[in-house]
Amino acid sequence: MTDVTASRPLSERTQLIRKNLRRRHMSETIFRALGLLAIIVALGFVALLFADILRKGVPAFTQSNLHLTATFDPEIIDVGPPPGRIAGQSEAEFRAASLKWQREVAMLNWNKVVEASLRALAPAGYEIAAKDLLTIPETDARHRLREMFVADPSLLGQTVKVDVLASANADNWIKGNIDRSLPDSQQQLKAPARALIDQFVSNGTISMGFAWSLLTNVDSRAAPASSGLLGALVGSLYMMLIVIVLAVPIGVAAAIYLEEFAPKSRLTDFIEVNINNLAAVPSIVFGLLGAAVFINYMHLPISAPLVGGLVLTLMTLPTIIIATRGALLGVSPALRQAALGMGASKTQMVFHHVLPVTFPSILTATIIGVAHALGETAPLLLIGMKAFVASVPATPLDQATALPVQIYLWQGNENRNFFESHTAAAIMVLLVLMIALNGIAIFLRSRLERRA
C-alpha cells in the first residue's frame, strides 16, 4: 500500500493547505457578512415598519379645531320654549311632549347658524357660497350646536364660543396631505374655501390640538374627521374579557390534565396531536367555524363581541395549553416527590405545589396569547364584525367592531388622504396596547420570579 499523504514531504502538505487558506478565509468572511446582513435586514424591517407607521400615524393625533363664535339667532332657531311639566301630566305624556319639541329643534336649519358664525369670522364681504363655506367645519358641527341648545334652551339669542372640528378635507389641506399644486378640478375644496382656511389658520381661528376625538368618539361616516376608536376599543375589550374568562381556566385545566393526570393512552395521544395541530390551523378557519356553528347553527347574534370572543377563545386555547404544559414540564421532579412524600394526593400536589411555581410562566403565556387574540382580524370578518357600527356596544351581545377590524375598515375608506394617517393612528393605538400587554407580561414575570 502507498501512503499518499505520508510519502509526500510535509512542506508540500502545508503548501497545499496554505494555497487554499485565502479562499477559505474569504468565504468565511463572506458567510459572516451575509449573516450580519440578514440581521441588519431583519432589524431594518422592524425599524422601517415602525418608522413608517409612526410617520403616517403621528400627524393624525393632532387635528385642526375651528374656534367658532356661534350666535343662537332667534330668527333661525324659530322654535317655542321647551314644554314644561304641566300639573296632572303623566310621565309618558311629558316625555312625548319633550320628544316632540326636540324633533322640532332637529328640523331647524342649524347649518345656517354654522354658516352665520363662519361668515362673521371671514373678512367682511368675502365671497363664498354657503355650500362651500360649510365644507370647512366637519358636518357634525351643527349637531354640536343643536345638542348645546337642547341641553340649555336659554342660549336662545346668546352668542357663545364653541370649538368644532375642521372637516377632513380642510384638515388634509392644512396638514398638506393633499398636493396644494393640484388644479381646482382635482381639489376636494373650492378655491375660496381653501383661501379662507389659510386665513383662518394664520389668524388663529383654526388651531391644531390633540385629537381626543380619536379616542373618545365612535366611528362615523358622515363626519370622518370626528370618527374615533371608542366603539372598537370597547368591542375589543369585551372580547378580551371573554377570552380571559374562558380560555385561561379551560386552557390551564386542560394542560394540567394532559401533563399530570392523563394516562398514556391512544386518546390522550390523540388529544395531544390535536392541540399541536390546532395551534397551527389558520385563524380564518376558526372564523369559518364561528360562522357555521355559533351563528348559523346556534343563532348567536351576528357582529357580537360574544361570538368574536368565543372564536378567539378557541383560537387562543392551544397556545395557552402548550405554554402551560411547557411550564409544568419544567417543574423539578424533586418538588413533586417532596409533596407526594409528605402524603399529599396527586391533586393536592398539583394544585398546592406545582401550579403556584409555574404561575409566572402561565401568566406570561396567557397575556401573550391574549395580546395575539387582540390583533386577530380575519376570523372576525367572517362572523360579521365587518359591519359599520356607530355606537359603543353596551353589552357583549350588541353589534360591535374590534380594533383590528376598525383598522381594516378605515384603510378601505375612500378619503385616502385623511384615512391613511387615521388608520396608521389606529394601528399605533393597537400596537401601544399590545406592547403594554407584553410589557406587563415581562414585568409581572420578573417580579413574580424574583419573589419565588
Partner 1 sequence: MDTLTGNTRVTQSPDVTSTPVELSKRTTRLTARDVTVHYGSKQALHGISIDIPDRAVTSFIGPSGCGKSTFLRCINRMNDTIEGAKVGGTIKLDGEDIYDPSLDVVELRARIGMVFQKPNPFPKSIYDNVAYGPRIHGLARSRAEMDEIVHSSLRKAGLWQEVKDRLAEPGTGLSGGQQQRLCIARAIAVSPEVILMDEPCSALDPIATAIIEELIDELRENYTIVIVTHSMQQAARVSQKTAFFHLGNLVEEGNTSDIFTNPRNKQTQDYITGRIG
Partner 2 sequence: MNSLIIAALLLVLLGLAYQTGWARGGALATATGTKVHSRPQYHASYVAVWTLVPALIVLLLWAVFGGGITLNFIREQIPADVLAGLDANGLNALVARIHALASGYGVVGEIQPYEAAAGNALRSFQFITFLGVVAAAAVAGLGAMLYARSRITARHRARNAVERVIGFVLFACSAIAILTTAGIVASLLTEAIKFFTFINPLDFFFGTVWAPNNAATGGDYGKYGLLPLLMGTLMITVIAMCVAVPVGLMAAIYLSQYAPRQLRAVAKPIIEILAGIPTIVFGFFALVTVGPFLRDIGAAVGLNINATSALTAGVVMGIMIIPFVSSLSDDILNQVPRTLRDGAYGLGATQSETIRSVLLPAALPGIVGAFLLAVSRAVGETMIVVLAAGNSPVLRGSIFEPVATITVSIVNQLTGDTDFAGPQSLVGFALGLTLFVITLGLNIFALYIVRRFREQYE
Q: Does 42 bind partner 2 (CB under 8 A)?
A: yes
Number of residues in contact with partner 2 under rule CB under 8 A: 90
Q: Does 415 bind partner 2 (CB under 8 A)?
A: no
Q: Does 45 bind partner 2 (CB under 8 A)?
A: yes
CB 223 within 8 A of CB 138: yes
Place of cell 374590534: 402
Q: Does 37 bind partner 2 (CB under 8 A)?
A: yes
Cα three-residue angle 30-34-35, rounded to 5 degrees? 120
Q: Which of 139, 145, 404, 425 binds partner 2 (CB under 8 A)?
A: 404
How far is C-alpha 444 from the chain's CA centre? 23
Measured from the CB atom, the residue of 200 and 408 that comes closer to partner 2 is: 408
First-last CA distance in the chain: 68
**Subset of 2-31 contacting partner 1 (CB under 8 A):** 2-6, 10, 13-14, 16-21, 24-25
Q: Which does 3 bind (CB under 5 to 8 A by kind): partner 1, partner 2, none?
A: partner 1
Measured from the CB atom, the residue of 28 and 147 that comes closer to partner 1 is: 28
- DSSP labels for 63-86? EEEEEEEEE--TTTS--PPPPP--
Q: Does 39 bind partner 2 (CB under 8 A)?
A: yes
- DSSP-derived 3-state class of residue 4: helix
Residue 230, classified by CB atoms within 10 Å of its CB into exposed (0-12), middle (13-18) or buried (19+), is middle
The HSE-up count of residue 3 (CA atoms within 13 Å, CB side) is: 5
Q: Which of 97, 148, 271, 357 binds partner 2 (CB under 8 A)?
A: 271
Q: Which does 427 bind (CB under 5 to 8 A by kind): partner 1, partner 2, none?
A: partner 2
Q: Does 100 bind partner 1 (CB under 8 A)?
A: no
Whole-angstrom distance, CA of residue 287 vs CA of residue 407:
18
Q: Which stretch binds partner 2 (CB under 8 A): 59-67, 165-173, 211-219, 251-259?
A: 251-259
Measured from the CB atom, the residue of 269 and 449 that comes closer to partner 2 is: 269
**Subset of 317-346 contacting partner 2 (CB under 8 A):** 317-318, 321, 345-346
Whole-angstrom distance, CA of residue 333 vs CA of residue 354:
10
- Structural Rg of the chain based on CA atoms: 32
Q: Does 408 bind partner 2 (CB under 8 A)?
A: yes
Q: Which of 209, 282, 330, 356 binds partner 2 (CB under 8 A)?
A: 282
- For residue 397, report the phi and psi dihedrals to the nearest 5 degrees: -95, -5
Size of the chain, expressed as the number of residues it contains: 452
The least CB distance from residue 16 to partner 1, in Å, is 6
Q: Does 93 bind partner 2 (CB under 8 A)?
A: no
Other beta carbons within 10 angstroms of residue 135's beta carbon come to: 21
Instruction: Give 268-272's long-range contacts (Cβ < 8 A, gap of 24+).
Output: none
The least CB distance from residue 184 to partner 2, in Å, is 26
Q: Does 96 bind partner 2 (CB under 8 A)?
A: no
What is the pattern of x (binds partner 2, CB under 8 A) and - over residues 6-35?
-----------x------xx-xx--xx-xx
Whole-angstrom distance, CA of residue 333 vs CA of residue 446:
23
Measured from the CB atom, the residue of 112 and 336 that comes closer to partner 2 is: 336
Return the amino acid letter for 347.
T
How far is C-alpha 328 from the chain's CA centre? 33
Measured from the CB atom, the residue of 217 and 417 that comes closer to partner 2 is: 417
Q: Which does 19 bind (CB under 5 to 8 A by kind): partner 1, partner 2, none?
A: partner 1
Q: Does 131 bind partner 2 (CB under 8 A)?
A: no
Measured from the CB atom, the residue of 13 and 352 that comes closer to partner 1 is: 13
- For residue 68, report the phi and psi dihedrals to the nearest 5 degrees: -95, 155
Q: Does 369 bind partner 2 (CB under 8 A)?
A: no
C-alpha cell at 329: 414540564
Q: Does 288 bind partner 2 (CB under 8 A)?
A: yes
Residue ranges in contact with partner 1 by CB under 8 A:
1-6, 10, 13-14, 16-21, 24-25
